[in-house]
Structure 1
Amino acid sequence: MKEIVEYTDYRKYIQDYYDERKRCSAFSWQEFARNAGFSSAVFLKYVCEGKKNLSIGSAGSVANAMGLAGYEQAYFVLMVSYAHAKSDKAKRAAFEERCALAKAHKVHVLGDEEFDYFKSWKNSVIRELAPHMPGAKPLEIAKACKPKITAAEVSETLDFLVKAKLLKKDRNGNYHQTDKAIKMAPVEAVPLAARDLQRQMGEFAILSLNLPLSERVMSGYTLGLTSRAFERIKKETEDYYRRVVAIATEDDETEQVYRLNVQLFPMSERLGTGKKCVSSKEDKNEKGCL
């Protein structure tokens, strides 16, 4: 069975624990539930199936039943707390507390670096800028950013990117990307951090409306869609992103760092089936896709 810090879903951890015990003995859901103090013989089975939720109050008892102690027990309780969190802020706090707990015991949490990377726009922008500004000091890189940031923020970001192995520094003090592109890891908390990044970039997109048309590409469509059409457009968008990344990575040189946002989201409640697909385009003086 994997180390507990490799899990983000407490249900999966409970299921793997049960499967491991079952493989080696005549362990049953009834025995498991009894050890954890539940009267229902199938309660934990239903928890694993998503039919029931484990409360934060009973998380410690389940952890004891699985033989967890010390930071492992605390980590399990934090996984349950994360699942119960109602807001992104609460989820973020539970995840960061989990990471801090693991780091205090010199254990790596899956998704930790990825989570930190997506928390701030500075990480992605400086990851693109620094390799194409050889010999530049942090202050020069800071002045090249939009919006402007401090030299101290650049230094902190560069240190993180090197530590996370997203940049490497050569003997001359110049930075190089370890990979051409970054793909989001399949960790529950990473998309949570990515939503923060998308909010930040969305705010910058609004500010960019003040730029001349020669420096930006924006337009928008309002569409009436069926579920089938939505899935097809979603697939087309994913394919489009892959083609864009392929084009962007053809050249080794960079002249300027850009952000590309493609957004498709509902503007009404679901009306039912069989609706005709219609569209209207706004901002006809501009070209491109938003």
Structure 2
Amino acid sequence: MFKIEMSAIDHIFDYDDYRRFLQDYFDEQKKLRAVFSHRFFAAKAGFSSSSYCLNVIRGRFNLTPKSIEKMTKALKLDNRQTKYFAALVEYNQAKRVEERESAWDEITQIRSQNEFNHISHDQKEYFSKWYYPILRELVVHPDFDGDMMHLARAIDPAISTEEARAAVKNLEKWNLIQKTPEGKFQSTSLMLDARNVSPMDLREIRREYVQQAIGAVESKKPSERFATFTTLAMSESSYDYAVKILEEARKKIIAKASDDPIMDKVYEMMIVAFPMSKKFEKENEK
């Protein structure tokens, strides 16, 4: 019964039309609670008109930023669901093409974030070797035919065939990849989230990737890699702004990559900003 009550909200990220989502939600709630109605929800949300929600669902009214806030609170959506609902409203109600495209970019970003799989304690060994994450991306490529030697040599720098074979077995054991009935490999989730992995467990692989980055800057053609170095003097507020912009760019790139139908290569992307000086203090502040 609980799953029936929450099904529309649980699947909100599958909706492209917020009016359809609202219709499904209202239909479910009416089946669960005799007291539930458009009037009941309107009163709960704080709308002055008892028929407001019905008119929204039927396309007679559009939602405003204020009504979105009221509705998401009444629906008890969490932060990510609230952002997604607001993006859906913008997408469905946009009058200009660029507004609609911008809203769709936001939708795809949130969807990609929702498809992250959190690394469990048993899976943290995934980060013990630098080539595990790369192999996880390569082994699910539709052109991979099971040739472990070819797989090992596809990595740059190459690893041994034995290392590739052992890694694939581990990825299966950790349930990070699985075999299809056709004998191909597929990912068990779109992307992995390492927030639950301790910094100590990530330290070695981070060092490996930094070393790989140094080697790439020195050996790869400019057309094959991107590297930029900028020294800036700025306030803490400007730094916070820079972090926000960089994080937004990272999310957009992730969303674009997750929707890319063709995967040619595996890239490692690092965005780093760190202090290279201490904060100046006035003499009278010491």
Matched, 1:113 2:122: yes
**How many residues get paired?**
162
Return the alpha-carbon distance in structure 2 between the equivalents of residues 230 and 124 of structure 1: 30
Matched, 1:246 2:244: no
Structure 1 stretches lacking a partner, 5+ long: 1-109, 274-290
Task: List aligned pairs for 1:153-168, cutoff 5 A.
Answer: 153-168=163-178
Return the alpha-carbon distance in structure 1 between the equivalents of residues 234 and 214 of structure 2: 26
Return the alpha-carbon distance in structure 2 between the equivalents of residues 112 and 155 of structure 1: 23
Residue aligned with 2:231, SS = strand
1:186 CA displacement? 2.8
Give me the CA root mean square deviation.
Answer: 1.9
1:236 pairs, out of 241, 245, 252, with 245
Q: Which residue of 1 aligns with 2:267?
A: 258
Task: List aligned pairs for 1:199-238, cutoff 5 A.
Answer: 199-209=207-217, 210-238=219-247
Return the alpha-carbon distance in structure 2 between the equivalents of residues 179 and 197 of structure 1: 21
Letter in 2 for 1:239: E
TM-score by length of 1: 0.52
1:264 CA displacement? 0.5
Task: List aligned pairs for 1:1-290, cutoff 5 A.
Answer: 111-132=120-141, 133-187=143-197, 189=198, 191-209=199-217, 210-272=219-281
Q: Which runs of 4+ in 1 moved over 4 A?
A: none
Change (3 A) 1:272 1:116: farther
Structure 2 stretches lacking a partner, 5+ long: 1-118
Which deviations, in whole Å up to 9, do the C-alpha atoms of 1:8-45 show, x marking residues without a partner?
xxxxxxxxxxxxxxxxxxxxxxxxxxxxxxxxxxxxxx
1:126 CA displacement? 0.3
1:114 CA displacement? 4.0
1:213 CA displacement? 1.1
Return the alpha-carbon distance in structure 1 between the equivalents of residues 123 and 195 of structure 2: 7
Return the alpha-carbon distance in structure 1 between the equivalents of residues 237 and 123 of structure 2: 32
Letter in 2 for 1:149: I
Residue aligned with 2:192, SS = coil
1:253 CA displacement? 2.6
Residue pair 1:167, 1:177 contacting (<8 A) in 2 also: yes
Residue pair 1:123, 1:157 contacting (<8 A) in 2 also: yes
1:229 CA displacement? 1.7
Letter in 2 for 1:204: Q
1:177 CA displacement? 1.0
Which deviations, in whole Å up to 9, do the C-alpha atoms of 1:71-121 show, x marking residues without a partner?
xxxxxxxxxxxxxxxxxxxxxxxxxxxxxxxxxxxxxxx942342112222
TM-score by length of 2: 0.53
Residue pair 1:135, 1:173 contacting (<8 A) in 2 also: no
